[in-house]
């Protein structure tokens, strides 16, 4: 039996942002959970409900087994949700690598 998660409390802007984060390759499900309080299974249910069937299948195929969508499988992520390619910002200047 599927567990229902309270997604009715999300505004349309929050829902749009959550879907956008789910489509991003480098945004792990853990970041979505921290920001919205929804575990991976709730995100999957929400996307299944709000995406067109073809978009849902395309998204599922895209994230299936993708290590960047799971912080525990990504190397170098740690407890922060930041791309390893993101540059450091120091005194309003982007530092060189």
Distance CA 11, CA 49 (A): 15
State residue 77's pLDDT score: 46
Place of tokens 């060189």: 96
Predicted confidence (pLDDT) per residue in 10-19, tens digit: 899 999 999 9
Q: Which two tokens stand for residue 78?
A: 């740690």
Cα–chain-centroid distance for residue 63? 10
- Whether this prediction's pTM lies above 0.85 is answered by no
Domain chopping of the chain, boundaries: 12-73
Contacts 24+ apart (CB under 8 A), 70-74: 70/28, 70/29, 70/30, 71/28, 71/29, 71/30, 71/31, 72/30, 74/28
Q: Per residue in 13-68, pLDDT tens?
A: 999 999 999 998 888 999 999 999 999 999 999 999 999 999 999 999 988 877 77
């Amino acid at each position: 039996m599927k567990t229902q998660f309270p997604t009715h409390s999300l505004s349309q802007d929050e829902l749009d942002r959550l879907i956008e984060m789910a489509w991003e390759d480098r945004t792990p499900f853990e970041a979505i959970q921290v920001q919205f309080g929804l575990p991976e299974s709730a995100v999957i249910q929400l996307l299944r409900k709000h995406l067109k069937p073809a978009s849902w299948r395309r998204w599922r195929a895209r994230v299936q087994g993708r290590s960047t969508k799971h912080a525990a499988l990504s190397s170098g992520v740690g407890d922060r949700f930041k791309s390893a390619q993101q540059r450091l910002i120091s005194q309003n200047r982007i530092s060189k690598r």
